Amino acid sequence: MTAIKRKGDYLTEEQRRTAIKEIVDYFTTERDQDIGVIAAEEILDFVLSTVGDNIRNFTLDEAKNIIRSGCDNIEVNLDLAKS
């Protein structure tokens, strides 16, 4: 069976199952509400489609900054090695 691809679906099936279980558990323990797997899946899909791209873009920007900083350090070290 082919999995349905959703917009903003950045999770593996295992991560998705874990997130859905955690949502169900959260509603049970923190809100004293019983919700089913379908409701938890809808909440997860909503959150991912609403903020997933923003989170992804933020992490990509952070990765670029780390790489840029590392490249700057390499350039400085190479310049020092020339002396």
The amino acid present at 24, given as its one-letter code, is V
**pTM assigned to the model:** 0.67
The answer as to whether 56 is a domain residue is: yes
Q: What is the pLDDT of residues 6-52, one digit of tens each?
A: 655 778 999 999 999 999 999 999 999 999 999 999 999 999 989 98
Residue 61 placed within a domain: yes
In a domain, residue 4? The reply is: no
- Within a domain: 7: no
Give residue for tokens 């903003």.
Answer: 8
Residue 54's domain spans which residues? 13-82
Domain count of the fold of the chain: 1
Task: Compute the distance between CA of residue 17 and CA of residue 54 in angstroms, rounded to an integer.
Answer: 22
Per-residue pLDDT reduced to its tens digit, 41-81: 999 999 998 998 899 899 999 999 999 988 888 888 888 88
